[in-house]
Amino acid sequence: MDKIFDRIVDNAIDFLNSSVDDLKDKPKYSIINFSSSIELFLKARLAAEHWSLIVTSQTKQVPDYSKVKSGDFQSVNLKEAVTKLDKTVQSGLSDNEFKVFDKISKHRNKAVHFFHEAHSQDSSSDGVVQEIVKEQLIAWYHLYTILTTRWKNIFLTKLDAIELVNQKLKTHNELLRIIYERIKDQIKAENAAGTIYSACPSCSFESLKHNLSNIDEFYEVNCGVCDFNKVSFYSNCTNCNNSIFFIGEGQTECTSCGESFYPDFISEKIYHGPSQYEVTREGATAFNDINCDECWENNSVVETSDGSYRCTSCFEHFDNVYECEWCGGYTTSELEYSYLSGCGECEGHSGWHDD
């Protein structure tokens, strides 16, 4: 298994390197190799669970170890990989992450079918290359975050190599400098008028606009250079009272004193008294014991003042939460036959019966 995992990750890194190298002169190949790299990283995560998961279930082929080892098999596509990560590995992607990767995959198909060599002169024009860079930086931001946090233990032996290619890819942001130069004065003016700007986690320019109104509330950030946007949260450091920003996730550090903050901090800030389900539940003490089905974090979902729900770890928003009929736990995705088959946290009546 390990050999298959290693080979897939090494391939993924190779493709990413080629994608970076090809960007300016052969953007078509950059798009294709970038997309392959993302799919390979997801497949590597599947292979870490079990090698047979990278074989597509859409044909009638029976997963054959020797064929997988020699590469002679039809592998899962992006959509199937994402489904298997969710259902089998139970470490799926959020909707937002899937959308970002799906866009990359669609552009790959377009590049393969419609990008003729004859057009390559136009295609390497600055505008096209800038659009590709924006898309790749944002997709890589998401993938890099997954690889170095949620899947960190799986990719531990590969993190150094991943960091190297991360540094290399980040240098592409220089191709966006022309956009930054164009909006720099406007940023300065807005900044002087009180709008907060900070460094963008995707393109690194000081062009991330914070559209915030109140402290301890969720709001949007968006980047004027690369179009990166995320739900964020703003509060004050409990240690030095400096402003702290959680960009798209429930973990951050105070830039002034270095104090670390976690999702619990946000849960406490936005908690508005017992929610509807807690009132009806006996013996409920924890105020945020709803599990998130987007990021698989436990106890991270909290009811907000408008009666909807927000995960304080991945910042995903939910209209409803659902109770498991077997263990009484709550989760953010609708459960079917939960009395029998359980939820993400329990195996339901059938699991209990087996023991």
- Residues of this chain that interact with Zn ion (CB under 5 A) are 200, 202-203, 223, 225-226, 228, 237, 239-240, 242, 254, 256-257, 259, 292, 294-295, 311, 313-314, 324, 326-327, 329, 342-343, 346
* First-to-last C-alpha distance (Å) of the chain: 29
Nearer to Zn ion, 52 or 333 (CB): 333
Tell me the CA distances in angstroms from 56 to 21, 52, 92, 108, one per residue in order.
31, 9, 17, 20
Nearer to Zn ion, 274 or 351 (CB): 351
Task: Provide, rounded to whole angstroms, the least separation between the CB of residue 244 and Zn ion.
Answer: 7
Q: Which residues contact 226 (CB under 8 A, 6 or more apart)?
A: 133, 134, 137, 138, 173, 176, 200, 202, 203, 205, 207
The DSSP H or E segment spanning 221 is strand 217-223
Task: Provide, rounded to whole angstroms, the least separation between the CB of residue 95 and Zn ion.
Answer: 11
Rounded distance, CA 31 to CA 23, Å?
A: 8
| Length of the chain as a residue count | 355
Task: Provide, rounded to whole angstroms, the least separation between the CB of residue 264 and Zn ion.
Answer: 14
Task: Provide, rounded to whole angstroms, the least separation between the CB of residue 87 and Zn ion.
Answer: 16
Rounded distance, CA 105 to CA 79, Å?
A: 10
Task: Provide, rounded to whole angstroms, the least separation between the CB of residue 343 and Zn ion.
Answer: 3
Nearer to Zn ion, 147 or 314 (CB): 314
Nearer to Zn ion, 81 or 295 (CB): 295
Nearer to Zn ion, 8 or 266 (CB): 266
Task: Provide, rounded to whole angstroms, the least separation between the CB of residue 335 and Zn ion.
Answer: 8
Instruction: Check if the beta carbon of residue 101 is closer than 8 Å to that of residue 80.
Output: no
Instruction: Check if the beta carbon of residue 296 is closer than 8 Å to that of residue 275.
Output: no
Nearer to Zn ion, 15 or 296 (CB): 296
Rounded distance, CA 202 to CA 188, Å?
A: 20
